[in-house]
Structure 1
Amino acid sequence: MMKIILKTLILTGVIGLFNIDNLSANGAEITYRGSKGEYTINRQAGTYRGCVYNTGCISLSQDKNSWPSHWKNGNYVYTVDDFRVAVYHHGRLIFQDSFKEVGECTISSVYRITSRLVNSPGSGTDITFANGIGLVSYDIVPAAQNSRINDPVRICLISIPQHCPPGDDRGRFYSVQNLRTNRNFRMYDSQHLCGGA
């Protein structure tokens, strides 16, 4: 009886296949379902498989120098985090599909913390999380700077910019809570908002 109820909830969309609810046989794969398709990634193996409804599928593997949630296919770059998948061609956004809306949150961990500019302390804060989300600020953000690699965090999407030029999706604003220190900070995903420099 429980299996029938669970299957019904999944088929009707009451239980979504995204974020920490995504389980697979080996525990490494995560399948995200958006309004346009389904996307399965395995960060340990470095693989991505994206299937857009009524269009087709593509499977990619990472090279060792790629960021954890970036895959390249010629001049195309595919990025996946717990909130969306985006495809860029020559740096221009050509496709995206969202898994979460403004106000929703996800759990991840700190992957990297640096200054905004490489080898330039005091230039600002740049922090990247294991789920692929990267945030940046011209300011020094103490709560982010004082985080440690692998610290657990709760990341919430606060706002998405409106009326952006086609292909420019910069300016998503996030709130982050470091679950080890219990300190909070807010940062954008880009140095400039859409339509800016």
Structure 2
Amino acid sequence: MTSLRPEDLEAARDRTIDDVLAGGLHVLFCGINPGLMSGATGHHFARPGNRFWPVLHASGFTPRRLLPAEQGELPAYGLGITNVAARTTARADELDDEELREGGRILREKVRRYEPRWLAVVGVTAYRVAFGDRHAKVGPQERTIGGTRVWVLPNPSGLNAHWTLRTMAEEFGKLREAAGVADARHRGDS
């Protein structure tokens, strides 16, 4: 990937990027919102310090560590990606509560339309605001959206230091098992 200059990143502010979606997914992962690197590249979780792609593999969702530019391969594994809020920012704390609540409403509509088995929101604080559930904790939620179950995962941002790669992979792995997805690390297509 060509290195991006600070002005390239700043120019990506307030852009949106396409979801990676298909009907009938096992798990639809939902970030808080795209960062500037994602806005500049058009790829989810594109910042080099973000642990989403390493954790996705370490938890067994993918047979190898995918690069952000390979996000289009996810539906073949029954996976997709969207965001609570669509616009790119340098930091998630640039979003206000109203934007997160509106994003939660749009997300519920998306889930009803595409009907994944599980919606996995990465970031408990954003989930609490978007879904009006102040007491939510990481793990499976009682809430469903139509027939879709909901799981809150730790935010894979490098800023979320109290979750290690190992402990995040364990939590993602619990979701993989609950979703009935075989451990892809043991497939022959790596």
Which entry has the higher C-alpha Rg, 1 or 2? Answer: 1
- Greater share of helix: 2
TM-score, shorter chain, exceeding 0.5: no
Compute the TM-score of the two structures, normalised by the length of structure 1: 0.27
The higher-RCO structure (CA 8 Å, 6+ apart) is 2
